[in-house]
Amino acid sequence: MENAIRPARSGIFIGLGANLDHPRHGPPRQALTAALADLGGRGVVVRRVSPWYRTAPVPVSDQPWYVNAVAEVATDLSADRLLALLHAVEQAFDRVRSVPDAARVIDLDLLDFHGELAPGGPGKATLPHPRLEGRAFVLRPLADLAPEWRHPRTGASIGALLAALPDGQGIEPF
C-alpha cells in the first residue's frame, strides 16, 4: 500500500543551518557556503542551492536566529554513506553535538534521498528526515528548489505541508 502513495523519484536534498559565527569561516552563511565547497571536494556535486533565509529557532528560545537553505546534490554514495559524510563535514567544522536544539556553527541534515523510505538506526539514515514536515526553515527553501516535491511517506504536497505549519515559525529572506 505504501508504494501506492509514493511520489515519483525525487532528488537528494540537504538542509543547511547555523546560528553561530564559525571561528575560521565567519558568519553562518559563509560557514555554510564553505561546508558546501567542502562537500564538493569530497565528491558530492552541489547542483543547486535555494535562497537563504533568516529563521527563528525551533523550538522558540532566546538563541540568535538561524541562517538556513536547502541544497540539491548528486552523489554515487548511498544514503547511509552520505549521512556519514555530512557528519564528517560537521565534525571538520567543529560541530558539537551535546544538547538537542542547541545553537550551532553548522548543521547538515539529509532531508530526502530520491524519495526513499528508511527507518534509520545507529549509523543509518532516517528517510525522509523525521521532522522536516513541521519546520518552515526546511519546507520554505525546499519549496523554492522543488515546488512539486511530495513527502515520500505521506504523499502530501509541499504546498499542503507549508499550509499546515503551526504559527510562530519566523522566516524571512536573508
What's the one-letter identity of residue 54?
A: R
Cβ(162)–Cβ(140) below 8 Å: yes
Answer yes or no: is pLDDT of 4 > 50: no
Mean pLDDT of 148-170: 95
Backbone angles phi, psi at 136, to 5 degrees: -60, -35
Tens of pLDDT, residue by residue over 19-49, are 999 999 999 999 999 999 999 999 999 999 9
pTM of the model: 0.93
8 pLDDT band (50/70/90 cuts)? very low
58 pLDDT band (50/70/90 cuts)? confident
Answer yes or no: is pLDDT of 3 > 60: no
Which has the higher per-residue pLDDT, 71 or 168? 71
Which has the higher per-residue pLDDT, 58 or 9? 58
51 pLDDT band (50/70/90 cuts)? very high
pLDDT at 168: 85
Structural domains for the chain: 9-173 (3.30.70.560)
Which has the higher per-residue pLDDT, 61 or 154? 154
Tens of pLDDT, residue by residue over 98-125, are 778 789 999 999 999 999 999 999 989 9
Cβ(138)–Cβ(165) below 8 Å: no
pLDDT at 9: 58
Question: What's the chain's average pLDDT?
Answer: 92
Query: Which three-class secondary structure string do you get for 90-155?
Result: HHHCCCCCCCCCCCCCCEEEEEEECCCCEEEECCEEEECCCCHHHCHHHHHHHHHHCCCCECCCCC
